[in-house]
Every structure is written in structure tokens, then in C-alpha cells.
Amino acid sequence: MAVDVTRLVEKQETRVPANLKLPIYLDNHSTTPVDPRVLEEMLPYLSDRFGNAASRSHSFGWIADEAVETARARVATLIGSPSGELVFTSGATESDNLAIKGAAEAYRGKGNHIITAVTEHKAVLDSCKRLEKYGYRVTYLPVRSNGLLDLIDLERAIDSKTILVTIMAANNEIGVLQPIDEIGKLCRERGIIFHSDAAQALGKTPIDVVRQNVDLLSMSAHKAYGPKGVGALYARQGIQLSPTIDGGGHEHGMRSGTLNVPGIVGLGKACEISREEMPHESCRIAGLRNRLHDNIKSSLDEVYVNGSMEQRLPGNLNMSFAGVDGEELMTAIDDVAVSSGAACTSAHIEPSYVLKALGISDELAQSSIRFGIGRFNTQAEIDYVAAKVIHTVQQLRELR
């Protein structure tokens, strides 16, 4: 029988501090607010500096092109790459598609085997499934119960026809950080291209594509306090990619189309801020994450963290609350923006494929909540959310 969530909300007695503004945003893995410093730098390119960066015959184009190249250098500095090896895109989804499909087509003469993991973002999984329709073989590696890939499984999966390994740096649901250094070393030794989706990792955990032997890296601005609709792909010099968008030869012929100059400026500024503030910011956010975890765990039993707590993004906390439906919990805490581990389909709710890959039961998977803590969250917000979640879970369990 469904729980009367409206009745529960009416009974909610969590005290709201006078200085706390509701609703509280804790869904920073979905998207982040644009940092005011980023917006400030973007605004001139939405007004007076409106030129097309591909227009080389007048000052309007020169100014736009200079802004693009400044942004390119800022992004490159954050990930430890030469600026000439960056391609601007519409976001990490496009970057994933260009990296995977572009490499697969360019290296078809060497082989047709691709390796990925079952917990990858849909942009990677669906790209791989599309390639399977064209005769490519794809190995989908399992993960351990903590969400981490087993390097022995990866090594065993490699064969003479393997041309690409694509493993994300940080998972979008459970925040688990994969062993990118070891994967990159293994791929480089075997002469295999290594692509990593770093949409969630950019600006939150150190990335050095040269040291980590990453050949292709996907990035998105809106996960790192930049604007939506812009991202980048790092492509190491010498790596061949067949373009997925033709028409004009922009971005070294890899991605045609008029550049989103304001968005690119915003991405560059977001990366500059992250480079300067990441060490301090990551520690602060991890402290807030741990505070939320400890408060909840100290007051509720049968609460489980999904994924490794040690190898994890600083702001991620994915928890399952036994005996509680995740959708009902989110409805009851309607002044807190979080995500459920369940994905809606046309007629019913399916448990998250990421959580199921960890071996979690359907019931526990459907009781999961993803808390995404970010730059602008405060300790007062975390304490309020913890108290609200604790009270609500207790009430839901009683009603059941």
C-alpha cells in the first residue's frame, strides 16, 4: 500500500534556522549553478563582443578568437595538456560520442574490439551499443561491490583486436573514482587508446592527462560551475579521430560548427577557478559530505553507502535506506533537491543499472538517494538536510 506522503510532510517538524534559505540544492552531480565569476566573464561575449571566432577579417572575429584561445589554455592547464590538443564541443555527451565513434572508425583497420564497464554513463554505453550494430565487438566489464573495476579483468579482456578502452574517471551516481593511472599505464604499454569520461571529475579531483597516460578525455562545463551546452575533448597529439560532425572544418577538422564563444569563455574561467581553489574546496566539501554521512548513520539503522567511501568524489554520498522507497522519500523532503537512484521508464520505475551492477538488491536500489554537495553548500544546510532526512525516514518506516 502506498504511503500517504502528504500526511508525512504535514507532520514534518524539522526546525528551519532563520538564516537558511529554502529550497536547498544538493544535486550538484546533475548540474551546478554558474559561479558568479564565470557569469561576469561571459557577459561581454553575449553583448558587445559578439563576434564569430572563425571570422578572421576584422576585429570582432579577432577578439572572439583570442577569447577562445585564452579559454583553451585555461582548460589545458587544469588537465595538464598542451592547449593545441583540445577540441571544444557542446558537452561531455558529444565529446564521448566523438571520442568513441571517432576512434573506432579511424582505427577500424587495426581492430574492432572496444572495452568499457557496465557502470559507464549512457553516453558511453549507448555509443558502444551503436557501434555493435556496425560489427564492432564490445566487452562490458563488471565492477566489484565497491564499484571499482578489477584491473585483472581488464587485462584479461584485452586481445589482439582491442583498439579502445573507455573507462570513466568518476561515476555520476555513486561518485567512485576508477584507477585511471593504472588503466592508462596498462593501455599505453599495450598500444591501446584510452578514453575517459571526466565530466564528474573535472575540477573536483586532480587530472593530469600526460602523467596518467590518457589519450582522450571528455569534459563538460556545467558540472564544474560553468554554463550548460559547452564542453571539450582532449585528444592527444597523434591520435586520429574521424569527425562525427562535418561542415567547415572548425576545431582542427574534428568538430565543425560555429563556436559557442560565451560558453567557451565560461568553461575556461570555471577551469581557472577550479585550478586555484580545488585543494581547499575539495577538503571543505568532503568535510560536509562526511558530516552528512555521520549524522545520518548515527541516528538511523539499516542505512548503506553505495560504492567505495575511500575512492570517491569529495561531494558524493549515495545511500540506501532500507524499508523506504526513494521516490517517496524525495517527495517528502520536497524542500531539498536530491536525486533518486531509480530511473523512470515509460510505465514503471527500474532500479539503477549502476547500483544493480554492485550486486545491490532491487529493493535497496530503489531506496537510494544521491546527495551531491557542491561549492555553495553550507554546514547549516547540511545539518538541516540530515535532520530532515532522519525525521522523514523514521516517519516513513513507521507508516509502513
Q: Three-state SS for 383?
A: helix
Residue 265: CB atoms within 10 A of its CB come to 27
In whole angstroms, what is the distance from residue 332 CA to residue 4 CA? 10
In whole angstroms, what is the distance from residue 46 CA to residue 217 CA? 28
The 3-class secondary structure across the chain, one letter per residue, is CCCCHHHHHHHCCCCCCCCCCCCEECECCCCCCCCHHHHHHHHHHHCCCCCCCCCCCCHHHHHHHHHHHHHHHHHHHHHCCCHHHEEEECCHHHHHHHHHHHHHHHCCCCCCEEEEECCCCHHHHHHHHHHHCCCCEEEEECECCCCCECHHHHHHHCCCCEEEEECCCECCCCCEECCHHHHHHHHHHHCCEEEEECCCCCCCCCCCCCCCCCCEEEEEHHHCCCCCCCEEEEECCCCCCCCCCCCCCCHHHCCCCCCCHHHHHHHHHHHHHHHHHHHHHHHHHHHHHHHHHHHHHHHCCCEEECCCCCCECCCEEEEEECCCCHHHHHHHCCCEECEECCEECCCCEECCHHHHHCCCCHHHHCCEEEEECCCCCCHHHHHHHHHHHHHHHHHHHHHC
* Catalytic machinery residues: 344
Please give the span between the terminal C-alpha atoms of the chain, in angstroms, as a whole number. Answer: 8
Provide the grid cell at 100. 568513441
In whole angstroms, what is the distance from residue 323 CA to residue 338 CA? 19
Q: Three-state SS for 385?
A: helix
CA-CA-CA-CA torsion sign (218, 244, 127, 151): negative
Provide the grid cell at 373. 554537495
